Amino acid sequence: MTEQLERVAQAMVADGKGILAADESTGTIKKRFDLIQVESTEDNRRKYRELLFRTDSAMRNYVSGVILFDETLRQNAEDGTPLVKIIKDAGALPGIKVDCGAKPLAGAAGETVTEGLDGLRERISEYASLGAEFAKWRAVINIGSGGSAAIPSLYSIRANAHALARYAALCQEGGIVPIVEPEVLMDGDHDIDRCYDVTEVTLREVYNALYEHRVLLEGTVLKPNMVVSGTLCPDQAGIEEVAEKTVQCLKRTVPSAVPGICFLSGGQSEEDATAHLSAINGMFDVPWRLSFSYGRALQQAALKAWSGKAENVAAAQAAFAHRAKMNGLAASGKWTAELEQAA
pLDDT one-digit tens code per residue, 29-60: 999 999 999 999 999 999 999 999 999 999 99
Distance set, CA 32 to CA 111, 125, 225 (Å): 25, 31, 22
Position 333 confidence tier, pLDDT thresholds 50, 70, 90: very high
Judge whether residue 343 has pLDDT over 90: no
Which of 181, 171, 189 is CA-nearest to residue 221?
Answer: 181
Query: Helix (H, G, I), strand (E, B), or coil: what is residue 227?
Result: coil
| pTM attached to this predicted model | 0.96
Positions marked catalytic: 223
Nearest alpha-carbon partner for 299 in 20, 9, 8: 20
- Contact predicate 49/72, CB 8 Å: yes
Cα distance between residue 91 and residue 64, in whole Å = 7
**Residue 262 and residue 268: Cα distance in Å, rounded?**
15
Query: Which domains are assigned to the chain?
Result: 2-342 (3.20.20.70)
Give mean pLDDT, residues 66-95: 98
Q: Quote the pLDDT of residue 145.
A: 78
pLDDT in tens, 262-293: 999 998 999 999 999 999 999 999 999 999 99
Instruction: Let me know: does 136 contact 101? Beta carbons within 8 Å.
Output: no
Cα 183–288–297 angle (5° rounding)?
Answer: 45
339 — pLDDT class (breaks 50, 70, 90): confident
Query: pLDDT tens digits for 303-321?
Result: 999 999 999 999 999 999 9
The candidate with the shortest Cα–Cα distance to 203, out of 246, 163, 254, is: 254
d(CA 64, CA 62): 7
**Quick one: the chain helix, strand, coil %, rounded to 5?**
50, 15, 35
HSE (CB half, 13 Å, CA atoms) of 164? 35
List Cβ neighbours of 248 (8 Å cut-off, separation of 6 or more): 196
Can you give the length of the chain in residues?
Answer: 343
Average pLDDT of 320-336?
Answer: 96
Other beta carbons within 10 Å of 163: 19
Judge whether residue 18 has pLDDT over 70. yes
Continuous H helices in the chain = 2-12, 26-35, 42-53, 56-62, 70-73, 83-89, 120-129, 154-173, 192-212, 239-253, 270-283, 296-306, 313-330, 337-342
